[in-house]
A and B are shown apart, each in its own frame.
Chain A
Amino acid sequence: MLVGAFACAHTPQLLARPSTEDRDLVLRVHGAFARVKRRLETLRADAIAVVAGDHVEAFFLDAVPALGVYVGSECAGTFGRYRYRFPIHEPLARAVVEQGVERGFDLFYTQHAPLDYAFYVPLHFTMPEPGVPIVPLHVNVYLPPQPTPRRCYDWGRTLGEILQARPERVVLMASGGMSHFPGTDRYASPEFEYDRRLLDALKAGHGRELAAITGEELDKMGNIELRTWAVLLGAVGEARADVYCYEPSWHHGNAVVEWPV
């Protein structure tokens, strides 16, 4: 069953803070992550299904999958001095890919690919103790053409039904967002007002609105990663968002959010 749903920022500056980043802001986001960690412990999650956008780490231009599931026994990734290795909840991962395909989503799966930091930055701070296995769920956000927000939302709705019918207590975590423009001329001027309006809509339970946003608008607003949120919103329906924090840095709208399920 689905027992919890969260969205977490994953910018690597939260893990390795350059001197350009406001330390107090970073610590406030860490504080929100600590709340998520306590919630995961309270919810007694058996597994965390993490929906994240690959930063051209597992998949380069040799093959660009849209939506998929990591179905191995474990997964691992490195970022500088950080080394991560997580067990995968294989029965749950298999159920997601098998039932997802059966229900009309042409998912890819992999049993071995490098794990992107979009997965492990939030887990670095939120993994409950003792740790639980994960199910990495991939969404292509950086290599156009990406799946439409509508398609992501529809996949999330099916994913939610699959998780709801499972015996395990599953927490769904969307990793990404909010507004940021890495590598472009807009890097120092994200669309924070857009983020705030969207968070207001989510607080009112209007998650379905994200499904109607075009991919072009997400790109314009620095929010290509919100496709992962669209997946989550498909699963949680009209639940009202509880915004733990929204911390705009000079280049990134850092949000941590919970939805009751």
Chain B
Amino acid sequence: MNETSHYRFPPASAYRLNRCLFALKSDDAFRARFLEDADAAMSELELDAEDAAAVVRGDRDALLARGAHPYLVFMADLRLRIEREPVSFEFF
């Protein structure tokens, strides 16, 4: 794997950012708090301000540039959309 790979080694500097995206993806309670009050939920995680702002904006390019894992960005967004717009999904 190298720096041109689609899925690169997650830099340690982005650990907290990736942990935040992991929580949005997989922690139903945290996701619910985020949907209720994003800024308050973000304050739980001790992210730096720019990371937190990129998460709240859902700014994929900024998140990737800051070391976020692409899959976590993708699925955190999908899970938030399922909660926000459940009617646009057909459930099998």
Contact = CB atoms under 8 A, between A and B. Distances in A.
A219 B92 contact: no
A183 B9 contact: no
Interface in A7-25: 12, 14-19, 23
Q: What does DSSP make chain B's interface, helix, strand, loop or mixed?
A: helix
A125 B5 CA distance: 33
A177 to B, nearest CB: 15
B2 interface: yes
B1 to A, nearest CB: 4
Contacts of A219: 1, 5-7
Interface residues of A, number: 37
Contact of A142 (B2, B69, B78, B82): B69
Given A216-B1, A219-B1, A183 B71 contact: yes
Contacts of B91: 15-17, 81
A81 B69 CA distance: 25
A222 B2 CA distance: 15
Which range contains the number of B residues in contact with the other chain?
20 to 34
A145 interface: yes
A95 to B, nearest CB: 30
A184 B1 contact: no
B33 interface: no
Interface of B: 1-2, 5-10, 15, 18-19, 22, 25-26, 28, 60, 64, 69-75, 78-79, 81-83, 88-92
Give the top 5 A-B pairs by smallest Cβ distance, nearest first. Answer: A183-B70, A183-B74, A17-B90, A182-B74, A144-B1
